[in-house]
């Protein structure tokens, strides 16, 4: 049985909701036959989010880790290809920290690639009628921070891991006027489709 850890984030930057949190809440442990799915919601705080995530990995020893985060302005589900070794954001995390032009890990590679089959994910999600596209960058805020820490920690292991950004959810239309939104149930379906893709492999 494939053990899968899925994570989302709490709301940040004074927002009321975060679609990545809401999508993992909707997923049950037995939603995909042949798997045990574990879910968690991480704080939007640089160091704490990464330490919480790695503690979950050490505790549960999953075969797969897929982290999700919100990317307002995007119009599709976007698996990320690379994590970059950089914290550089104009907004503060939920503890009030602003990090500008800081390496996540001194002396480590500039970028580390996802070990998830990201192109297969895009194809499978599109087959469900849900917009999906490949992204080369997870930005330089907390999403990318945990992505980089995760990939760095799991290098040389058999664990498949990576990050996926999702658009705003429909319930955020009033908070982000004019930006694309998606039904959170479609986001949850996309997440389960990714897990099914891994099982089929």
Per DSSP, the three-state class of 161 is strand
User: Catalytic: which of 143, 149, 171, 174?
Assistant: 143
Q: Which residues contact 168 (CB under 8 A, 6 or more apart)?
A: 19, 70, 72, 176, 179, 180, 181, 182
CATH number of 2-200: 3.40.630.20
b/e burial code for range 84-110 (CB count within 10 A of at least 16 → b): bbbbebeeebbeeeebeeeebeeeeee
Domain regions of the chain by residue span:
2-200
Question: Which sign, positive or negative, has the C-alpha torsion 58, 155, 10, 99?
Answer: positive
- Residue 154 confidence (pLDDT) above 90: yes
User: Catalytic: which of 21, 67, 80, 149?
Assistant: 80
User: Catalytic: which of 21, 145, 149, 165?
Assistant: 165
Give the ranges where the chain is alpha helix by DSSP (H).
19-25, 46-60, 118-127, 142-154, 184-200
Query: Average of pLDDT values for 39-46?
Result: 98
Query: Average of pLDDT values for 131-143?
Result: 97
Cross-strand pairs, 40: 7
Per the annotation, the verdict on 165 as an active-site residue is: yes
Chain-centroid distance of CA 9 in Å reads 8
| 140 in Cβ contact with 89 (< 8 Å) | yes
- Residue 201 confidence (pLDDT) above 90: no
- pLDDT over 90 percentage in the chain: 100
- Residue 112 confidence (pLDDT) above 90: yes
> How do 111-113 and 64-70 pair as beta strands?
unpaired
Chain-centroid distance of CA 142 in Å reads 10
| 71 in Cβ contact with 166 (< 8 Å) | yes
- Residue 175 confidence (pLDDT) above 90: yes
| 129 in Cβ contact with 190 (< 8 Å) | no
Average pLDDT, the chain: 97
């Amino acid at each position: 049985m494939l053990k899968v850890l899925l994570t989302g984030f709490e709301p940040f930057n004074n927002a009321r909701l975060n679609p990545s949190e809401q999508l993992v809440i909707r997923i049950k442990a037995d939603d995909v036959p042949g798997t045990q799915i574990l879910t968690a919601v991480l704080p939007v705080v640089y160091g704490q989010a990464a330490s919480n995530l790695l503690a979950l990995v050490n505790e549960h020893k999953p075969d797969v880790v897929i982290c999700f985060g919100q990317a307002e302005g995007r119009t599709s589900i976007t698996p990320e290809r690379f994590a970059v070794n950089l914290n550089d954001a104009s907004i503060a995390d939920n503890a009030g920290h602003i990090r500008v032009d800081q390496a996540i890990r001194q002396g480590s590679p500039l970028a580390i690639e996802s070990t998830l089959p990201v192109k297969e994910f895009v194809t499978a999600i599109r087959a469900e009628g849900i917009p999906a596209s490949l992204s080369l960058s997870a930005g330089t805020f907390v999403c990318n921070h945990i992505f980089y820490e995760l990939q760095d920690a799991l290098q040389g292991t058999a664990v498949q891991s990576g990050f996926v950004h999702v658009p705003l959810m429909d319930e955020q239309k009033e908070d982000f006027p004019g930006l694309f939104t998606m039904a959170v149930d479609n986001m949850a379906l996309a997440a389960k489709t990714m897990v099914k893709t891994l099982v089929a492999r």
